[in-house]
């Protein structure tokens, strides 16, 4: 791996860690999700980077893909289980990291299960290890705490300007013969729940991503698509970012862009039985025999 490339991966990890920890410090009863998201975004920007994706601030039985909507008024309550999933982009080199906070403090077995699973899994990582060995470690840690792993979520490869790439790292053991590569970045991402262990799409969408540029009839639609391509490339973006830039009428322009296949929607994911969900995540970088946890 080129030295300059490695330095950008590591810097993205450092900025992502700082943004995650800053978000944790803001997670108090009465805090607004939108204020937390805006503060995280500013923290990343002030460090000279861009968000790798909108801050995901998913509550309780929502597992992932919730970022505050335009003028979101949601406030944290004592006892909420808040997942803070953030990342930074340094010239397209990315980080992806998450932690879960029990708002107001206290003990929570779901949180403890996901946290222990991540710690145990990272200890297993080395170039050439079978992905199934990491998955087995995650599953054993979560079930050992009396919780269920979420079977259709997990870790993933990371490439430049692409936050989700092969190989998938499930939260349960399987029969995969795939191995961790000897060069590149990836995320380990345990999800634990006191529900059944399966997530489904909710109707809500607040995050989208450019798939490809396509001809657009509407002048405003063309402006929006050009802006998305130049500002975010193929990284996910928040619907509210577009509304803040172009006004509330822009939401009507997004619908045909999705229908045409130019944009992809990320539905907010919820635990099927409405069980509480906790998530912890780190980005790891492998360069030969060297393993670096960039977000630790």
Q: Which of 140, 133, 113, 146 is nearest to 174 (CA)?
A: 133
Q: 244 near 35, Cβ under 8 Å? A: no
Query: Which residue in 37, 53, 64 sits closest to 92, CA to CA?
Result: 53
CA separation for the pair 119, 96 (Å, rounded) = 16
Residues designated catalytic = 85, 96, 156, 164, 189, 281
Q: Find out whether 173 and 135 touch, Cβ atoms under 8 Å.
A: yes
Quote the CA–CA distance of 92 and 80 in Å, as a whole number: 33
Which single residue is written with the structure tokens 């708002």?
103
> Under a CB-based contact definition with an 8 Å cutoff, are residues 213 and 225 in contact?
yes
* Whole-number Cα distances in Å, 28 to 22, 70, 114, 193: 12, 21, 21, 22
The Cα-based distances of 71 to 46, 96, 237, 243, 256 in angstroms read 23, 25, 16, 10, 23
Sort 188 into a burial class: Cβ within 10 Å, 0-12 / 13-18 / 19+: buried
């Amino acid at each position: 791996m080129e030295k300059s490339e490695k330095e950008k991966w590591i810097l993205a990890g450092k900025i992502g860690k700082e943004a995650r920890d800053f978000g944790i410090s803001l997670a108090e009863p009465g805090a607004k999700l939108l204020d937390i998201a805006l503060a995280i975004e500013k923290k990343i920007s002030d460090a000279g980077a861009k968000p790798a994706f909108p801050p995901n601030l998913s509550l309780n039985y929502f597992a992932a893909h919730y970022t505050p909507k335009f003028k979101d008024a949601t406030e944290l309550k004592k006892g909420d289980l808040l997942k803070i999933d953030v990342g930074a982009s340094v010239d397209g080199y990315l980080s992806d990291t998450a932690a879960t906070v029990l708002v107001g403090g206290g003990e929570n077995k779901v949180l403890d299960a996901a946290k222990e699973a991540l710690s145990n899994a990272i200890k297993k990582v080395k170039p050439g290890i079978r992905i199934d060995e990491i998955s087995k470690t995650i599953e054993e840690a979560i079930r050992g705490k009396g919780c269920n792993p979420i079977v259709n979520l997990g870790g993933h490869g990371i490439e430049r300007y692409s936050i989700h790439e092969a190989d998938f790292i499930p939260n349960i053991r399987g029969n995969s013969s795939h191995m961790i590569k000897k060069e590149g970045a990836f995320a380990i991402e345990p999800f634990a729940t006191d529900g059944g262990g399966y997530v489904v799409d909710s109707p809500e969408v607040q995050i989208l991503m450019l798939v490809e540029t396509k001809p657009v009839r509407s002048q405003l639609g063309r402006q929006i698509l050009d802006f998305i391509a130049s500002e975010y490339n193929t990284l996910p973006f928040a619907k509210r970012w577009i509304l803040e830039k172009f006004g509330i009428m822009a939401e009507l322009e997004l619908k045909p862009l999705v229908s045409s296949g130019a944009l992809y929607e990320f539905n907010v994911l919820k635990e099927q039985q409405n069980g509480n969900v906790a998530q912890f995540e780190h980005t790891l970088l492998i360069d030969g025999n060297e393993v670096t946890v960039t977000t630790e």
